[in-house]
Chain A
Amino acid sequence: MRAHGMRQILDYEDDKDPVIQDHPEKSLGHRNSAAMQETGAAAEDVRKNQKGAAVVAYYWCRVCKIKTPATEAKSCDCGVTMCNRCWGEWDFICPLCDSDMS
C-alpha cells in the first residue's frame, strides 16, 4: 500500500508517466538459475540433476597420478586407491594386501 501511495505522490509532483518500481517482466528468481523458473515436476528434475553433479568426488590414482571420478576408481581397505584401468593392470588384486577388488 505504501508503494502505491508513493506512486501517487510521484505522479502528482511532476505529471510524468507513473514510475514503475518493480519489474513484472522478470520473475522473482531471475538472479538464480533457470531451474528456478521451472515449476512443478520439471523444476524438481533440474534440481536433482544439479545436486547429483555437485557431489561427484575425484580420487587421485596412486599409480597413473590422474584425477579420476570416484565412480571410475576404487579404494581398498588398506588405503590403495587406483583408477579402474590401473586396477586392471594389477588384475583387480590389491598390490599391498592381496584383497580382491573385482
Chain B
Amino acid sequence: MSENKSRLQTLFEQGEFVVTGEIGPPKAATGEGIREHAKHLQGYCDATNLTDNQTAIVRLSSIAAGIHVLRAGMEPIVQMTCRDRNRIAIQSDLLGAYSLGIKNLLCLTGDHQSFGNHPTAANVFDVDSIQLIRMVKRMRDEKVFACGEQIKHDEPRFFIGAVANPFADPFEVRVYRMEKKINAGAQFFQTQIIFDLERFERWMELVRERGLHERAYIMAGVMPVKSAKVASYMQKFVSGMIVPDDMIERLKKAENQQAEAVEICVEQIKYIKNIKGVKGVHIMAVGWEEIVPTIVEKAGLLPRPAVPGVKVAVV
C-alpha cells in the first residue's frame, strides 16, 4: 500500500540520501511563520521536523504546526514528547494527527520542564520514549491501543522515528539504547548535532558492529553555526554536544564568519555522506532557516528526488 507511505519513507526505501530540516513553532497563535519557513525549505528538504514545545517552552502545538507545513505543500515530521501527555492523550493526539494527513512521527522523551518557562509545571512521563515507540508500533501493526483494546478500523500507520545522541556519556551505552529503540519499532533515527566527526565515526563503527544500520535509517544531525560566538556558547553551555576548539578558531579567524559557517557545514555533510550506514542529514538551522537552501545546494544534494504517487496534503 505505497499510497499509505510517507514521502520520507519512500525515499529511504528507494535508497536516496535524504535531507530533512527543522522548524520551531512560534510562541504565538499563528501559522504564518511556519508556512513561510516551509516555503524556504521546499525543494531543498524532503521533510521537516516540527518540535514539540522544545526546551520545555510553550509554543504552538507540533501537530497544528504539521498541518501548516502540509498546507504549504511540504511533508512534516511531527515530534511527540512524553513530558506533557499521558498515554490517553498521546494516543488521542496520534489518531488526530494521522487523520489529518501526518505520516511521520519522531518519538522522544522531551526536555525536563524545570529548564523551560513553566518550571513548576507538573510533568507526566507516563511512558518513556522507548515505550512510546512500542505503543505507536502496536497501534500500527497489531491494531491495538496501549490497553490492548482493538482499533476496529483506520489505525494510524506512522513511519516511526527516534533520536540518538552519540555524544552523551557513557559513550558505549548509546548504541544499546539505540538498539532498544529499534527493537521497540523505530524505523529511522535523527542524531544530535554533530561537530566532532571523529567521535561520530567511532559511534557509527559500533552501530555497524551490531548491524543496526541495516535495521533502521540513520540521519546525521548538522547545524550551520552562524559565528564563533554561537560556537563558544554551545561549547560552554549546551549539554550533550561536543564543539571542537579548532572549529571555533576557524570561525574566529574568518573574515566572513557566516560564509565560513556555511563552508564548515557543507564540508561536514560531504564527509558524513561517505560514512557507511548514514542515509541522510538532518539540518537544524536554529534561527537561520533561510541558509538551508544554500547549504543543500553547495553540498551537492540537489535536485531533490521526486516521489510520484505520494500525496502531501491535509486530509
Binding site for B on A (CB under 8 A): 57-60, 62-63, 70, 75, 77-79, 81, 90, 94-99
Nearest B-chain residue to A94, judged by Cβ: B287
Q: What is the minimal beta-carbon distance from A4 to any residue of chain B, in angstroms?
A: 49
Complex Cα spacing A14 to B57, Å: 70
CB<8 Å pairs between A and B, sample of 18: A59-B119, A60-B114, A60-B115, A62-B115, A70-B117, A75-B57, A75-B116, A77-B24, A77-B287, A78-B287, A79-B24, A81-B55, A81-B117, A96-B230, A96-B286, A96-B287, A98-B226, A98-B287
Q: Is B118 in contact with chain A by the CB < 8 A criterion?
A: yes
Contact A77 B26, beta carbon cutoff 8 Å: yes
**Pick from A58, A62, A77, A95: contact of B230, CB under 8 Å:** A95
Q: Which residues of B contact A99 (CB under 8 A)?
A: 287
Interface string of B43-61 (1 = CB under 8 A from A): 0000000000011010000
Contact A78 B24, beta carbon cutoff 8 Å: yes
**Main SS of chain A's interface residues?**
loop
Q: Which residues of A contact B226 (CB under 8 A)?
A: 98
Contact A75 B117, beta carbon cutoff 8 Å: yes
Other A-B pairs, 7, CB within 8 Å; known A57-B117, A77-B287: A59-B119, A77-B24, A79-B54, A90-B233, A95-B232, A96-B230, A97-B286
Nearest A-chain residue to B51, judged by Cβ: A79
Contact A77 B234, beta carbon cutoff 8 Å: no
Q: Is B288 in contact with chain A by the CB < 8 A criterion?
A: yes
Complex Cα spacing A94 to B286, Å: 11
Q: Is B92 in contact with chain A by the CB < 8 A criterion?
A: no
Binding site for A on B (CB under 8 A): 24, 26-27, 54-55, 57, 114-120, 226, 229-230, 232-234, 237, 286-288
**Pick from A63, A79, A95, A98: contact of B55, CB under 8 Å:** A79
**Pick from A57, A70, A77, A97: contact of B27, CB under 8 Å:** A77
Complex Cα spacing A57 to B115, Å: 12
Contact B286 A59, beta carbon cutoff 8 Å: no
Contact A96 B115, beta carbon cutoff 8 Å: no
Complex Cα spacing A30 to B41, Å: 64
Complex Cα spacing A63 to B244, Å: 19
Complex Cα spacing A90 to B234, Å: 13
Contact A96 B234, beta carbon cutoff 8 Å: yes
Nearest B-chain residue to A79, judged by Cβ: B55
Q: Knowing A96-B287, A99-B287 are in contact, say whether A58-B119 is a contact too (CB < 8 A).
A: yes
Complex Cα spacing A60 to B237, Å: 12
Contact A95 B119, beta carbon cutoff 8 Å: no
Complex Cα spacing A98 to B234, Å: 13
Q: Which residues of A contact B237 (CB under 8 A)?
A: 62-63
Contact B24 A96, beta carbon cutoff 8 Å: no
